[in-house]
Structure formats: C-alpha cells, structure tokens
Structure 1
Amino acid sequence: MTPNTDNTVKAQSYWVWTKKAQEQNPQFNRAGEPIWHHYKHEAPEDWLERGLICDSTKFVKEGQTTIFDFIEG
C-alpha cells in the first residue's frame, strides 16, 4: 500500500470492504467484495485508517469454500 500526496492509498492488488464497513453500511458494503470501481485500486486514506477497507490479499474469508477460491484471477 503506497500513500500518495492527495490523501489516497494504492492497493497491492485491489481494495475490498471489511466486516466493519459491512456493519456500518450493510445495504451497500459486503465484507470481502471489491469497493466501488472508481476506488478499486486507489482509495481515500481515511477509509484504510478507519478500517473500512483492506487489500484483497489480506482479507481472510470465512465460511464455505467454493471452486472459485482455488482459481487464480
């Protein structure tokens, strides 16, 4: 994650919502799903600091495994 001068952070892969974001806004944010497409790779630094987003490589999935968990994207 690389900070930029315009108060955004760049993801190693892409940003996903966290459980905290889902709890605060369950109608629009689901933990583990990519954030809005225009912020997918570079998002406001504040969201990261508040724990609303994390890099997809750091997100730990819970629940049942599907075939898509074994296919590299």
Structure 2
Amino acid sequence: METFELPAENAIAVTEKRCYTVEDLQIILGISRGTVYKLLEQKEFRWMRIGAAYRISKKSFDAWLDEKL
C-alpha cells in the first residue's frame, strides 16, 4: 500500500472549521440544545442535516451573530 503526505502549506488546521455543530452553538451562545433547534427551524442561518447530525455554516452563522451584536 502506497502512502503520501501533502506539503505543510496545504494542511488545514483542525481549528479552521467550516461548520459548527449544535453543541458548538450551545457553547458560543450559552443557550440550551432546544433553543439551538428553534433557531434552526426559524432558518436564521444556513445549515444542513447529515444523517442525524446537523452542521451549521460557520460563515452564515458568524454573519448572523455579527448582525445581532
């Protein structure tokens, strides 16, 4: 089996997320899980469902949060 490594300049740090989880939003906003789901239902920002998991667009959420602050 052949393996290879990408050059370091092509690596993406784990902290550079493109999506948030429901738990991430709970922590960022200091709100309950149920309240996060209400925001998702209201389509306050872009999100997608992958199986049972929700992923919220970081860019969309950050823009929404900046607008609210």
Both proteins in one fold, TM over 0.5: no
- Structure 1 or 2: larger helix share? 2
Structure 2 length-normalised TM: 0.30
